[in-house]
Chain A
């Protein structure tokens, strides 16, 4: 049982990592603010989710697992809200979305 949990955890975490990687890549390489936001939030949310799931497998108690889940939820809320705010202020400043040109 222990080994199975460990293995699942490792697999989940390893699965999560590429999302972070791609998110960071997107942040660096994408052409404008909106696309960068897109890459960052999308990738991070999933990536974090997977990693949290992986860690839950290692958690000792239900309480700890719940706490980890809370972390993910809070980050979800915060990141979506801040993403929204950034995009909004970008729009207010009349930053034009990137068009393939």
Chain B
């Protein structure tokens, strides 16, 4: 009975996932697609829970749904803000829409286009079926690396196996991954300057009040998630995401002091986590190997790294959401002169 209902639940989750994905990809309405995308992320988190991956579920809820959704929304807002008149065409030209339309005006063109689509769909379907049959028929009895993780868990200094893998056994991957985040921020900064909406005075007092209550709470949650990472689900990424969410909330509510944060402290904080990780890794070189934590200190060092990285990750994600460098960062000289 129990397993049957769970199976049913799984099926519902899966069907919802696929349906949502189909809808969000098919709908022409961008806003609807965003909303569907966020719900897609949440259902995804449910699926992770069902698949016994609480760490991933937390990360998905915080990052995949919690942060990516607002990212999309703010991007849409930004696009719509500049999207007036003839500029509307710029983005559509990415796919040479016009050409296709011209081709499809003729009957022969339309038929060929249709045939191409059928061919494409057929190809993909064949591929899908092929891969699925491989998954169904070719089964392997290898236990994966779980056995090794379990064997060496005690040496890793932490209790949670996922954290052990992330920060100790395969800490090098994680180091590079944090660098990916960092590069993303540098890239975003190189592209644009931050901007705030003009109507800061109109933020609802209720919103501000709620944010004032929620933000400290969220920071608390974030820290606890990071700390909890050593023995339960959680860790730097999840905690950082919650931290970022707090930041995003504050920014959306246009708290006045946020505009004034200068570039240098932000840069310091951004670099802090990666630098601590890298530095601790290198300091291990002194009497061992790169990223080889001395046995008794391993747990402490991992917690230290998680804290430092969690802070930086939070700030990184918030910066990604803001979508530009701080206003005082490398201003055009010409612009300054115009201003003065």
Bound form: Cα–Cα A78–B245 in Å: 14
Size class of the B contact interface (CB-based, 8 Å): under 10
Q: With a CB–CB cut-off of 8 A, which chain B residues contact A90?
A: none
CB distance B210 to A77 under 8 Å? Answer: yes
Residue of B nearest to A92 (CB): B202
- The dominant DSSP class at the B interface is helix
CB distance B204 to A85 under 8 Å? Answer: yes
Smallest CB separation, A53 vs chain B (Å): 22
Interface residues of B in 180-238 (CB under 8 A from A): 204, 206-207, 210, 213-214, 217
User: Number of residue pairs across A and B with beta carbons under 8 Å?
Assistant: 17
- The dominant DSSP class at the A interface is helix
CB distance A84 to B204 under 8 Å? Answer: yes
Q: With a CB–CB cut-off of 8 A, which chain B residues contact A85?
A: 204, 206-207
CB distance B206 to A77 under 8 Å? Answer: no
Bound form: Cα–Cα A81–B213 in Å: 12
CB distance A84 to B214 under 8 Å? Answer: no
Find A84's partner among B206, B213, B217 (CB 8 Å cutoff): B206
Smallest CB separation, B214 vs chain A (Å): 7
Q: With a CB–CB cut-off of 8 A, which chain B residues contact A78?
A: 210, 214
Residue of B nearest to A89 (CB): B204
Q: Which residues of A contact B (CB under 8 A)?
A: 74, 77-78, 81, 84-85, 88
Known: A74-B217, A77-B214, A78-B210. 14 other contacts (CB 8 A): A74-B214, A77-B210, A77-B213, A78-B214, A81-B206, A81-B207, A81-B210, A84-B204, A84-B206, A84-B207, A85-B204, A85-B206, A85-B207, A88-B204
5 tightest A-B CB contacts, nearest first: A81-B210, A84-B206, A88-B204, A85-B207, A77-B210
Query: What are 17 contact pairs spanning A and B, CB under 8 A?
Result: A74-B214, A74-B217, A77-B210, A77-B213, A77-B214, A78-B210, A78-B214, A81-B206, A81-B207, A81-B210, A84-B204, A84-B206, A84-B207, A85-B204, A85-B206, A85-B207, A88-B204
